[in-house]
Structure 1
Amino acid sequence: MANDDQRAPVRLKLGGLIFFHIVVCCVSLIRLADYKYPIAFDPTTFHIFFRPELLHIALFAVGSFALVSLLFTFARFSFGYFVGFYFYSVVLSYLWLNCFTDLNYDHRLGGLSAATSAVAFLLPALFISAPVRQRYVLTATQFDRLLVAILLFGVAVVAFSAAYNFRLVAVVDIYEFRDKLVSPVILNYLVGIASSALLPFAFAGFVVRRAYWRAGAVLVLLLCLYPVTLSKVALFTPFYLVGILVLSRMFEARTAVVVSLLGPILAGLVLVYLFGAKAALYLAFVNHRMIAIPATAIDVYTDFFSRHDLTYFCQIAFSKYFMSCPYQEPLSILMERTYKLGNFNASLLATEGIASVGLLFAPIAVFACGLVIALGNRLSAGLPAGFILVSGAMFAHILLNVPLTTTLLTHGAAVLFLLWYLTPRAIFQQHAASAPPLRGTYAAAPVSRPA
């Protein structure tokens, strides 16, 4: 009973923070819809609108879905918690945009399908976390050697990539040159795996082993991937990892997850209020890209597949070898041709869900995706929350814009799951005992189960 009494204030504070985050997301979407961008983007092109006369409908939809956020106050931290909160925010934003969009489909069915899919994803992602028995565990020495090997591998990947493409370009000009980049397919895979899984894992590992110079070298390598990929993600990855590390030391893990998304969005609103049009670029790159784009993807995919054939998972490359597919090109290119929004990738909610099986059966497919994320929970069980936050940080964003199958293979989520499984838990206990300054972040956490 005493333990429950102690948890109640924590849950109340976390719930209040999440409620504030919901309000900030809605205000951000209003600002994105009515703000005039001299150098950024046209919100109407992305079907982002706001009509005051429909505000009561949007408030009802968002208010009803806000009840789902209670799950986050009861669940313990896990990788699924991190990913799940980001997905929750995107679906919340879609339900808001769904009330104002100019796209023509069954909006009620689209909203119900998205909300049900979110719940279907969150249940396994938040609450399945029983540990998998480690049949093989690296020793501390082997772990250190693995981190060095990853660092050297990253150097090789950056060097080979620079031999094919290297161009210093301002962020606003990358789209003029990115389509001209040419490199071997295998190198593209290695870049994706290194930047999303291997190097963030090495950075987190070096920090916990207090090899700070090597951790800094990882950040430099990640930054060097920008001129060879011309990707905004590559440019901001090192700063994001440092930010997540700082948040993990300042806050309890679940609070750090909420602040990691709330902070940048709130900063965009504050900057626009203070500086007006001068902050348009930030609002477009951060508020628009982090939440509005993934939510718009659900809107666009729902519209497209309300009138076109479903894929039945044929968008997965290897499936085309044993099944016919109505589309011979990637869905991102198909969406670009139809909606003129660029190569428009989308999350598992839109691809494994809506595009593959339609609105009615999307929650079933998304539930299966949640089970995959739950496997990540099980393989990382027993690792400190701070280590999971930092090493898995990139996938909270990648999964919002890339299908799950692509994330597992092309971006290396499956590799990260394996690394988590092999990581020796004992090294964190040693550092928690010998290094008090790291205790708040890397103290060994209990296996995640519902509170």
Structure 2
Amino acid sequence: MSALSDIIQKLRSRLDTWAALTILLLLQSAVTCLSLIKVANFQSYIHFSGERVWIAVAIAVAFSVVSLLFAAARFSFGYFVGFYFYTMILGFLWIDVFSEYSYERLLAGCSAAFSLMLFLLPVLFIRAPFRQLVVLSNAAFEHLLTAILAISIGTIAVASTYNFRMVAIADIYDYRGALQFPGVVRYLVGWVSSTLLPFAFACYWLLGYRWRAGLVLILLLFFYPITLTKFSFFTSAWLIVLAVLSRFLNARTSVITSLFIPMLLGVAAMALAGYVLHDPLSKYFDVVNIRMMATPSSALDIYNHFFASHPLTWFCQISVLKAVMSCAYQDQLSVVMQDTYGFGMLNASLFATEGVASVGPYLAPLTALASGFILALGNRASAGLPQRFVLISSGTLPHVLLNTPLTVAMVTHGTALLFLLWNVVPRSIFERPGLPD
């Protein structure tokens, strides 16, 4: 057993060097662009052209210099989120070259690139810990975990009375538009599925309570027939992937490979599609390469096109503000995009919503900087906790942030709640002897 631990430790150390991370980061950037070449075969508004590919390659190569920040920065919650946003913005800069939509491409691209760089400054480099105002004992913290399980079970039971439908993933859109939950239930579903249960899973897994960790994964699966989202269907599997990756790799390498390996497999699957059954391979590519990564990049492309010729929101899409200020849009922006483009309910990240939609491309970098300071609070709240715990417990949030505005992620999906939970975790609970690696 000690020999295996030594091998794992050597692997972690060798892959966590600046040189190894740099190579991995550049490979991930290349795979992102290769993936988008294949995505163009599925997305009608992206027209890949050999004549313009060198422009896209030059832009991608220049922008990939930004990825070297992830070889230098230490791991944090902001590192996790920031790398996913880097991949999304790289994807947008590539799509921007080939998109059929008409808007000021150079302005949009420069705005997105500058927005990311300003966003990364606080989320990568602000890590000073908060003072723990409430310090729970180890026993009290385990009672808190039990309370989280009880709240989760109660939420599932109540939400199931409004909807519980077993349907294939391909059919979820036939039913999801009709889902209606009361406000309290809607918030509880978001908090439990995105924050509370992943937090509980990370705690139980790293404390060695394997059966309780397994129960958490089962509870997460119950949210699929309730919410009919791909996100809820794959959450349990995703947390397992993060737990396995972080067992063999350090946190920074785990973050990068959590995108690199799935996307590389998707590119390989499509390369093999002409030799084996096409349908299963295209479904994998659709879920991972298109839905998980290309869609958030495409959303930024679509929002740039829409708001180039429509009024900005000036944050009136936030329900609290809409009640006290005039707004050009009475429906949610996702509904507006669905009615305009017919691609379904198209939510988008903070770069598209709090940025392009709210203030336009000129001021978007400032909202990105402000958003970076807000998410850097997670770095401060989690300071002193094991990196592996921070990685697993926040495992769903990079995907949430890629696909929803910052305000929705912070409130509806419970990101702010996770920051609070991190702050009250007793740091000594992970220092007990005999805990698994």
Q: TM-score, normalised by structure 1?
A: 0.91
Q: Which of 329, 334, 337 is equivalent to 1:335?
A: 337
Residue of structure 1 equivalent to 2:81: 83
Residue of structure 2 equivalent to 1:69: 67
- Report whether the alignment pairs 1:110 with 2:112: no
Residue of structure 2 equivalent to 1:441: none
Q: How big is the shift at 1:235?
A: 0.5
Provide the C-alpha distance between the structure 1 equivalents of 2:419 and 2:167, rounded to a whole number of angstroms. 34
Residue of structure 2 equivalent to 1:414: 416
Provide the C-alpha distance between the structure 2 equivalents of 1:142 and 1:219, rounded to a whole number of angstroms. 23
Compare 347-356 and 48-57 and name the one that shifted more: 48-57
- Report whether the alignment pairs 1:14 with 2:16: no
Compare 366-375 and 131-140 and name the one that shifted more: 131-140
Secondary structure at the aligned position of 2:143 is classed as helix
Q: What amino acid maps onto 1:20 in structure 2?
A: L
- Report whether the alignment pairs 1:241 with 2:239: yes
Give the share of equivalent positions with the same residue, in percent.
Answer: 48
Q: How big is the shift at 1:274?
A: 2.6
Q: How many residues align?
A: 421
Give deviations 1:263-300, integer Å, cap 9, x for gaps. Answer: 11111112222344221111111100111100001101
Q: Which of 260, 263, 270 is equivalent to 1:262?
A: 260
Residue of structure 1 equivalent to 2:269: 271
Alpha-carbon distance change, 159 to 309 in structure 1, aligned in 2, over 3 angstroms: same
Provide the C-alpha distance between the structure 2 equivalents of 1:111 and 1:292, rounded to a whole number of angstroms. 16
Give deviations 1:368-399, integer Å, cap 9, x for gaps. Answer: 00001111100111111110111101001000
Q: How big is the shift at 1:7?
A: 9.8
- Report whether the alignment pairs 1:57 with 2:55: yes
Q: What amino acid maps onto 1:24 in structure 2?
A: V
Give deviations 1:229-281, integer Å, cap 9, x for gaps. Answer: 11110000000001101111110100000000111111111222234422111
Q: What amino acid maps onto 2:357 in structure 1?
A: A
Residues 32 and 263 in structure 2, CA contact (< 8 A), matched pair in contact too: yes
Q: How big is the shift at 1:177?
A: 1.2
Q: How big is the shift at 1:185?
A: 2.3
Provide the C-alpha distance between the structure 2 equivalents of 1:128 and 1:147, rounded to a whole number of angstroms. 29
Secondary structure at the aligned position of 2:396 is classed as helix
Residue of structure 1 equivalent to 2:38: 31
Give deviations 1:148-183, integer Å, cap 9, x for gaps. Answer: 110111111111111221111001111111122233
Provide the C-alpha distance between the structure 1 equivalents of 2:226 and 2:429, rounded to a whole number of angstroms. 35
Alignment of 1:188-267 (within 5 A): 188-267=186-265
Alignment of 1:42-441 (within 5 A): 42-44=42-44, 47-276=45-274, 277-278=278-279, 279-430=281-432, 433-435=433-435, 437-438=436-437
Alignment root-mean-square deviation, CA: 1.4
Moved over 3 A (4+): 6-9
Provide the C-alpha distance between the structure 1 equivalents of 2:257 and 2:434, rounded to a whole number of angstroms. 29
Q: What amino acid maps onto 2:403 in structure 1?
A: N
Residues 16 and 253 in structure 2, CA contact (< 8 A), matched pair in contact too: no
Give deviations 1:406-437, integer Å, cap 9, x for gaps. Answer: 0011000010000000001111122xx433x4
Q: What amino acid maps onto 1:434 in structure 2?
A: G
Give deviations 1:64-101, integer Å, cap 9, x for gaps. Answer: 10111111111000000000000000000000000000
Compare 292-301 and 175-184 and name the one that shifted more: 175-184
Provide the C-alpha distance between the structure 1 equivalents of 2:181 and 2:340, rounded to a whole number of angstroms. 28
Q: TM-score, normalised by structure 2?
A: 0.94
Q: What amino acid maps onto 1:325 in structure 2?
A: C
Provide the C-alpha distance between the structure 1 equivalents of 2:173 and 2:244, rounded to a whole number of angstroms. 32
Q: How big is the shift at 1:9?
A: 7.9
Residue of structure 1 equivalent to 2:6: none
Secondary structure at the aligned position of 2:40 is classed as helix
Q: What amino acid maps onto 1:206 in structure 2?
A: Y
Q: How big is the shift at 1:321?
A: 2.5
